[in-house]
Amino acid sequence: MESLPALMAGQAVAFAVDRGFLAGEPLVGLWWLALLAVVSAVGAVGARGALLSTAAIVEPLRDALVTHTVEVTLRYALTGGRVEQDRSAVARLTRQVELVREAAGSLLAVVCRFAFSFVGVCIGTLTLDPTAALLVFAPVSVGVGCYGVSLRGVVRAQMSSTLATESLAHEAWRISAGLRDITAYGLEDPALRRFDEVAKENARAEIALARLTTLRTLALGVGGWVPLVLVLLWARWGTQGMSAGTVLGVLTYIAQSLRPAVQNLVQGVGTTGIRLFVTLGRLLDAPGPRPGGARSVPASDALAPASSISVGKESVGIEVVLESVSFSYPGGANDVLSGVDLRLAPGEHIAVVGPSGIGKSTLASLLAGTHTPTHGRVLLDGVDLASLAPGRQAALRAYSPQEAYVFTGTLRENLGYLMDGPVDDRRMDRAVTEFGLADLVSLTGGYDGLVNPDALSAGQRQMIALARAYLSPARLIVLDEATCHMDPAAEIRAEQAMRERPGTLVVIAHRISSARAAERVMVLDGGVPQIGSHDRMLAESDLYRDLVGLWSVKSATPCPEALYGEAQ
């Protein structure tokens, strides 16, 4: 019923002109136009029925998707999943399900309307002029067919664009969430380079999608306008000619029914249809277990909760494994680190030594997750560090670089910054004692006194950062020359506290005391790293002997940085 106007419009106009107005029978012409009005009213009633029929198909689809989403989420919880981490469940249940509902209804209506309109126009045009029907049918079939063949590539490009947009948004969130840390650790350039790479990837995906969507314009041109031009040319230069009414009737079919139907089909499939495909695919591929299948455990859940760790209990260190790790900075000609293999047992303490620029700080940043290996993997208890969310990484490891991060706020806020809850005063008192912060506590007026980073010496800032890492629940501590601005006595006291703290400890050493106190020493010399005890490295590594000799000479007096810090 909805397609009756598409079938009758051209015929009614042609008969009204040829048999009515041009034949001197205006009443006949008016009768045919009145018939067209009645048919249009019937088509409106049919459109209402078609809408209700569409709803009868789409609403059960919506209900099925809601049921599927709820079942997946609940099954995930009942099989041990952590629902609070699946924050996208509500978005899937509301926005995405409703998007599928609307898109499915719209696409179904558009496809049905085009199918019936196209058949009606072809039948109507065929009754008026068979040749004109061929001139209409052929271009539309070619245009729509070519567009249909290209849809697979368009869908892939749309999916790539969607994922690239999500990656860009995620990277922007990561940077905005860590701006203070990025600034404190001097990582502005790596962060910008990483964001620039993601932004360029997003731009490439958008450009590829834009190029493919030009096919939509081509399909509209071939299917919507070429038939109009061909009919006019045939009417002017055709061998048999066409009456004025026939020409007007065929043009009515094309302009009123066919061209809008082609336009709605191409635009509907190209926008609503692809959106439907992408959203439906993501709904059915939502996180969590498959019905009847084994539960997929997220990498972030494969490790024990860090919040359960407390200083003073038995060792709760973490196993650290480097598998053929290599790293090079963007634009660098050579790898800073190449093929590094390392295994640290839970609770082990290792010192990393080597000349300046050999890659010690790079190794520390790889262990801390602030850089990602170019090749190879860094594993924490068997889980790839790169697969862990930033919040989960922060709960598992604490990283103290040379330039200590202290912010304007209370001393309590600075010391408890890495904790997942409030720190009781007894634990804070212990950290203050271990790291010699009693004078600073008195100077600030207690734990709730305000800290001004600019008023602190470099050594004081390092002591605060070390105490913060000490109080954290982290199972891995990475110290990248984190005591270089402290005098030797303060450094020995701080590292002793870190060794007594449960957990795995990695120290980038710059004094002989750090290497002597470690269970093992890792010597970086640009080749395959040498690993062993202090005595073994003295016997086997010429570089290590040279470094120990240099350190021994320098240890007679405090380093210039320490003297400068004490003077401040």
Spell out a b/e string for 392-401, using b for 16 or more CB atoms within 10 Å of the CB, else e.
Answer: bbbbbbbbbb
How many Cα atoms within 13 Å fall on the side-chain side of residue 183? Answer: 6
Q: Tell me the three state secondary structure of residue 505.
A: strand
Could you tell me which residue, 307 or 448, shows the higher pLDDT?
448
Token pair for 391: 């919040």
Q: What is the pLDDT of residue 453?
A: 87
Could you tell me which residue, 105 or 41, shows the higher pLDDT?
41
Token pair for 403: 């330039």
Q: What is the pLDDT of residue 565?
A: 34
Q: What is the pLDDT of residue 39?
A: 85
| Contact in structure between 471 and 412 (CB atoms under 8 Å) | no
Distance, in Å, from the CA atom of 209 to the CA atom of 207, rounded to the nearest integer, reads 5
Q: Tell me the three state secondary structure of residue 506.
A: strand
For helices 130-177 and 97-128, give the axis angle rounded to 10 degrees. 160
**Strand pairing partners for 353?**
523
Q: Tell me the three state secondary structure of residue 556.
A: coil
Percent of the chain scoring above 70 in pLDDT: 83
CA angle centred on 349, ends 344 and 354, rounded to 5°: 90
- Residue 80 identity: G
Distance, in Å, from the CA atom of 135 to the CA atom of 120, rounded to the nearest integer, reads 15
SS (H, E, C) 83-97: HHHCCCHHHHHHHHH
How many Cα atoms within 13 Å fall on the side-chain side of residue 201? Answer: 16
Quick one: average pLDDT of 541-547?
A: 85
With CA atoms as reference, report the closest residue to 272 among 99, 116, 112, 113: 99
Distance, in Å, from the CA atom of 483 to the CA atom of 403, rounded to the nearest integer, reads 10
Quick one: average pLDDT of 286-312?
A: 37
Distance, in Å, from the CA atom of 518 to the CA atom of 527, rounded to the nearest integer, reads 22
How many Cα atoms within 13 Å fall on the side-chain side of residue 337? Answer: 30
Checking if the pLDDT of 85 tops 50, the result is no
* pLDDT band at residue 563 using 50, 70 and 90 as cut-offs: very low
pTM as predicted: 0.49
| Contact in structure between 232 and 254 (CB atoms under 8 Å) | no
| Contact in structure between 162 and 139 (CB atoms under 8 Å) | no
Radius of gyration over alpha carbons of the chain, in Å? 37
Distance, in Å, from the CA atom of 369 to the CA atom of 175, rounded to the nearest integer, reads 14
| Contact in structure between 264 and 17 (CB atoms under 8 Å) | no
Checking if the pLDDT of 81 tops 50, the result is no
Task: Name residues whose C-beta falls within 8 Å of residue 171's C-beta, 6 or more positions apart in sequence.
Answer: 194, 195, 198
Distance, in Å, from the CA atom of 75 to the CA atom of 77, rounded to the nearest integer, reads 5
Distance, in Å, from the CA atom of 5 to the CA atom of 14, rounded to the nearest integer, reads 14
Q: What is the pLDDT of residue 96?
A: 72
| Contact in structure between 406 and 461 (CB atoms under 8 Å) | yes
Checking if the pLDDT of 297 tops 50, the result is no
Backbone φ and ψ for 507, nearest 5 degrees, come out as: -120, 125
Quote the mean pLDDT of the chain. 78
CA end-to-end span of the chain: 90
Checking if the pLDDT of 478 tops 90, the result is yes
What is the number of H-type helices and E-type strands within the chain?
22, 12
Quick one: average pLDDT of 436-443?
A: 89
Q: Tell me the three state secondary structure of residue 479.
A: strand
Give the model confidence (pLDDT) of 219-247 as tens digits.
767 767 788 788 888 877 765 667 888 88
CA 223 to chain CA centroid, Å, is 39
Quick one: average pLDDT of 24-51?
A: 85
Checking if the pLDDT of 506 tops 90, the result is yes
Task: Name residues whose C-beta falls within 8 Å of residue 259's C-beta, 6 or more positions apart in sequence.
Answer: 223, 224, 225, 228
Work out the widest C-alpha separation in the chain, in whole angstroms.
Answer: 121
Backbone φ and ψ for 191, nearest 5 degrees, come out as: -65, -40
Q: What is the pLDDT of residue 282?
A: 64
* pLDDT band at residue 184 using 50, 70 and 90 as cut-offs: low
| Contact in structure between 180 and 394 (CB atoms under 8 Å) | no
- Residue 252 identity: T
Distance, in Å, from the CA atom of 540 to the CA atom of 290, rounded to the nearest integer, reads 55
Give the model confidence (pLDDT) of 394-411 as tens digits.
778 889 888 888 888 889
Spell out a b/e string for 43-60, using b for 16 or more CB atoms within 10 Å of the CB, else e.
Answer: beebbeebeeebeeebee
Q: Tokens 């190879």 sit at which residue? A: 376
How many Cα atoms within 13 Å fall on the side-chain side of residue 206? Answer: 10
| Contact in structure between 100 and 280 (CB atoms under 8 Å) | yes
| Contact in structure between 478 and 398 (CB atoms under 8 Å) | yes
* Beta strand 349-353 pairing with 520-523: parallel
Checking if the pLDDT of 304 tops 60, the result is no
CA 373 to chain CA centroid, Å, is 19
Q: What is the pLDDT of residue 464?
A: 92
